[in-house]
Amino acid sequence: MRSPLPDYLSEVLQACSDEDGGELAAYIPELADADPDRLALALSTPSGTRYAVGDADVRFTIQSISKPFAYALALVDHGLDAVLERVGVEPSGDAFNEISLDPATGRPLNPMINAGAITVHSMLDADRVQAGFAAFAGRDLEVDEEVHASELESADRNHAIAYMLRNHGIIEAKPTEVVDGYTRQCSLLVDVGDLAVMAATLANAGVHPETGERVVPRWVARQVLSVMTTCGMYDAAGDWFTLVGIPAKSGVSGGVIGALPGKGGFAAFSPRLDEHGNSTRGVRIFERLSRDMGMHLMEVPPAARPLTHGHAAEDGDGDGDLDSTYELQGAVDFVGMERLLVELEREEEGAREIVLDLTRVHEVRDVGRRMLLEAARRLALDGHGVTFVDPEDMLEVGDAGSIDVGDGPAATVVRER
Ligand SMILES: NC(=O)CC[C@H](N)C(=O)O
């Protein structure tokens, strides 16, 4: 069978191609020469598959889409506190190149506007940027020297920002050097497939969906996605999030990425920009994808049933007592365990055997594990014996043995029922 997904993506491109509003970014002379009709779309999924349609072979400079990835690298290298000391996480409501600092803290408001991104860049050296971006993309990215030179020629605004940052002691390095490096970072060449996979790595909690490499820790991916949600589309962040509902970042060469936690990464490319500096067709494409594919982050499917069933059976010693078996499934998390607790509250005191079967569980979150063990402890206090059926070693070694309510461990683990 030929997958229908590429056809679907081509259809989305086709449907959005009549949108011809917007203007090329003119303040970077090289970008003003771009072909305004270029149009491409890519998707990278947790199955490790990459779909790309339209002008998918065309490379363009990454521009501001580099900002979330540089932020991720700075978080890894310096830790959250050191980065927060220099750059905040509040949406600015201003344009991306606003020459501004947070009046209350004296720091750039967030790492997605230029003031924050220039600060973040100053915390990384050139080799780190090169290697870090290569890990996100799964290949080495080269710099478009022409775009770099062209932007530097007209980078007065970014120089003004960098001088302001040094004047306030937020960066130490020479402003011209930091702007040069930051502009090189913005001039890395990518295609939509690269961007989709980079976004998917963030969406995938920091693990590259194709190479399987952990590029950044889970907490870093969470921090970056959070800031993309509130600040990624600049002063259009509210419109974008209510309509599309996908953490995103745009760039002035016409790229837009979306990273949907647990679901994958999207990237669109079309150079004409709206008044916020976001690709007009890119925005249209994302609106359509989100609608068609039900991808709005705030539109959550009903929680999967955490318990297939609980059932009781004669325990076989002829006293009429019943053993109870609870088959858990999916993720052992707060919601799932709360459901189990509601069921277990119906168990009366006694000396029965309660079987908690984890055969169909695929993930145990820390909070779920603690709730499960506390439930077992309370069952044991009520006089019951507890058996975990755990063929995939979902519990940690010693978990069952830790449930001691007086006369030795009250819970046992078996591999099958
Ligand atoms: N929005 C953008 O893509 C801006 C990036 C560009 N290099 C700048 O600093 O102005």
Q: Which two tokens stand for residue 160?
A: 């003004």
Q: Which two tokens stand for residue 405?
A: 């309510």
Are 140 and 169 members of one domain? yes
pLDDT at site 368: 95
User: What is the Å distance from ligand 1's center to 173 Cα?
Assistant: 20
Q: Which two tokens stand for residue 384?
A: 């019951």
C-alpha 253/C-alpha 24 separation (Å) is 8
Burial class (CB in 10 A: 0-12, 13-18, 19+), 34: buried
How much is the average pLDDT of 227-232? Answer: 94
Among 382, 368, 385, which Cα is nearest to 325's? 385
Q: Which two tokens stand for residue 399?
A: 């978990």
In a domain, residue 299? The reply is: no
The domain boundary residue, chosen from 293, 317, 347: 293
C-alpha 92/C-alpha 103 separation (Å) is 11
Q: Which two tokens stand for residue 394?
A: 């979902």
Q: Quick check: 147 and 103 in contact, CB under 8 A?
A: no
Is pLDDT at 223 greater than 90 in this prediction?
yes
Q: Give me Rg for the CA atoms of the chain.
A: 26
The range of the structural domain enclosing residue 333 comes to 307-414
Confidence class for position 323, pLDDT limits 50, 70, 90:
confident
For strand 353-364 and strand 189-190, is the pairing parallel, antiparallel, or unpaired?
unpaired
Among 142, 263, 138, 139, which Cα is nearest to 213's? 138
User: What is the Å distance from ligand 1's center to 24 Cα?
Assistant: 13
Among 227, 266, 220, which Cα is nearest to 79's? 220
In a domain, residue 300? The reply is: no
How much is the average pLDDT of 347-362? Answer: 92
Are 330 and 268 members of one domain? no
Q: Residue 371 sits in a domain of what CATH number?
A: 3.30.750.24
Are 155 and 50 members of one domain? yes
Lowest mean per-residue pLDDT among 25-34, 39-48, 245-254: 25-34
DSSP 332: E
DSSP 175: H
Are 29 and 169 members of one domain? yes
Are 66 and 209 members of one domain? yes
Are 269 and 335 members of one domain? no
Are 353 and 219 members of one domain? no
In a domain, residue 301? The reply is: no
Lowest mean per-residue pLDDT among 217-231, 249-263, 304-318, 381-395: 304-318
Which residue is catalytic, options 120, 197, 216, 252?
252
Is pLDDT at 374 greater than 70 in this prediction?
yes
Percent of the chain past pLDDT 90, that is, above it, reads 80
**Number of structural domains the chain divides into:** 2
Is pLDDT at 408 greater than 80 in this prediction?
no
In a domain, residue 79? The reply is: yes
Confidence class for position 321, pLDDT limits 50, 70, 90:
low
In a domain, residue 302? The reply is: no
Is pLDDT at 304 greater than 80 in this prediction?
no
Which residue is catalytic, options 66, 83, 87, 182?
182
Which residue is catalytic, options 66, 67, 147, 326?
67
pLDDT at site 401: 85
Confidence class for position 356, pLDDT limits 50, 70, 90:
very high
In a domain, residue 215? The reply is: yes
The domain boundary residue, chosen from 268, 293, 318: 293
Q: Quick check: 237 and 278 in contact, CB under 8 A?
A: no
How much is the average pLDDT of 37-61? Answer: 97
The domain boundary residue, chosen from 245, 262, 293: 293
Is pLDDT at 314 greater than 70 in this prediction?
no
Atom of ligand 1 at shortest distance to CA of 96? 1
Are 333 and 235 members of one domain? no
Confidence class for position 130, pLDDT limits 50, 70, 90:
very high
This complex has an ipTM of 0.97
Is there a catalytic annotation at residue 182? yes
Burial class (CB in 10 A: 0-12, 13-18, 19+), 128: middle
Q: Residue 260 sits in a domain of what CATH number?
A: 3.40.710.10
Are 99 and 206 members of one domain? yes
DSSP 235: G
3-class SS at 225?
helix
C-alpha 280/C-alpha 290 separation (Å) is 16
C-alpha 178/C-alpha 176 separation (Å) is 6
**CB of residue 158 inside a 6 A radius of ligand 1:** yes
Helix (H) or strand (E) holding 176: helix 175-186
pLDDT at site 317: 64
Query: Which pTM value belongs to this model?
Result: 0.90
In a domain, residue 234? The reply is: yes
Are 234 and 362 members of one domain? no
DSSP output for 330-358: EEESHHHHHHHHHHHTTPPSSS-EEEEEE
User: What is the Å distance from ligand 1's center to 382 Cα?
Assistant: 64
Are 282 and 314 members of one domain? no
pLDDT at site 318: 61
Are 45 and 110 members of one domain? yes
